[in-house]
Amino acid sequence: MANETLNEISENVQNGRAPQVKELVQKAVDDGVDIQEILNDGLVSGMSLIGEKFKNNEVYVPEVLIAARAMHAGMDIVKPKLAESGVKAKGTAVVGTVKGDLHDIGKNLVCMMLEGAGFEVVDVGVNVEPDTFVSEIQKNDADIVGMSALLTTTMGAMQTNIEAFKEAGVYDNVKILVGGAPVTQSYADEIGAHGYSDDAASAVDVANNLIAS
Ligand code: B1M
């Protein structure tokens, strides 16, 4: 019975049906289903499956955004209960688009996917100064810092940021994940980032590996 509701939550997240997700999550809570199960086997499962489809070009950006909205409708119910029950997030990720760069669609997708995978995400926005990254990492005791850049003229800011992390003494305490259209694995390696991914769904796999290492 509980499994059936969890499958329905997952399916409705994938189909982007926010009102149904809200209703089903509330039903599961009222029926006493474990909050962690609702999160992992319902909401996160739905978001992971849509992430896989996105990776395989079976769905596109609009479908992912709509699924994320549906996931958020369920998260609104689950989040306060998770806090009450003391369930900890998988890790905290501070994510932003680097200085000089205003592109945020890919960054937002990465945030949604990470959140959907159980990370606490602090979205620091676009055009983010190195000092802001540093202070947000410190303030949130971040496990991961994610940087996005869409312009060949702004990707160099990633290196500047990494230098700022080293100077501020946070480089050794945080895993650095980078991505965005002009960014490559070899560039990530060159600047001393710990992880790179070329799409938002894979960013979750990389983040999971980074916090496990
Ligand atoms: Co801009 N723009 N843009 N733009 N824009 C590009 C990037 C460009 C390739 C277009 C082109 O010329 N063909 C080009 C860059 C050229 C280059 O540097 N090589 C360009 C340019 C030149 C500019 C301006 C300079 C134009 C001008 O004013 N002369 C200007 C710069 C403004 C600034 O940032 N300072 C500019 C402005 C804009 C808009 C504001 C109009 C708008 C942005 C709106 C917004 O983001 N809110 C815009 C858009 C929409 C684009 C295109 C069309 C689409 C970008 C996008 O959102 N893609 C883009 C051309 C294109 O890509 N076809 C273009 C969809 C998104 C889901 O993909 O962001 O790549 P993407 O994210 C992917 C992956 O890269 C990865 O996962 C995502 C999902 O799979 N990923 C990560 C991204 N971040 C990650 C972080 C990770 C991991 C993975 O870890 C942390």
* CA angle centred on 194, ends 193 and 197, rounded to 5°: 90
Q: Cα(145) to centroid of ligand 1, in Å?
A: 20
pLDDT in tens, the chain (213 residues): 578 999 999 999 999 999 999 999 999 999 999 988 998 899 988 988 998 999 899 999 999 999 999 998 998 998 888 777 766 788 999 999 999 999 998 898 899 889 888 899 999 999 999 999 999 999 999 999 999 999 999 999 999 999 999 999 999 999 999 999 999 999 999 999 999 999 888 899 999 999 998
What's the pLDDT score for residue 46? 92
User: Angle of helix 61-85 relative to helix 105-116, nearest 10 degrees?
Assistant: 40
What's the pLDDT score for residue 122? 97
CB neighbours (10 Å) of residue 198?
13
Q: Cα(150) to centroid of ligand 1, in Å?
A: 5
Neighbouring-strand partners of residue 94: 122, 145
What's the pLDDT score for residue 58? 96
Q: Cα(30) to centroid of ligand 1, in Å?
A: 43
100 sits in the region (left: phi over 0; alpha: psi -120 to 50; else beta) called left
Nearest CA to ligand 1 atom 86: 179
Let me know: does 14 contact 46? Beta carbons within 8 Å: yes
Q: Which of 59, 61, 103 to mutate to test the pocket of ligand 1 (most atoms within 8 A of CB)?
A: 103
Point out the ligand 1 atom lying closest to the alpha carbon of residue 153: 18
Structure tokens, 173: 């305490």
Point out the ligand 1 atom lying closest to the alpha carbon of residue 201: 80
pTM of model > 0.85: yes
CA–CA separation, 213 and 207 (whole Å): 10
Q: Cα(184) to centroid of ligand 1, in Å?
A: 15
Q: Cα(151) to centroid of ligand 1, in Å?
A: 7
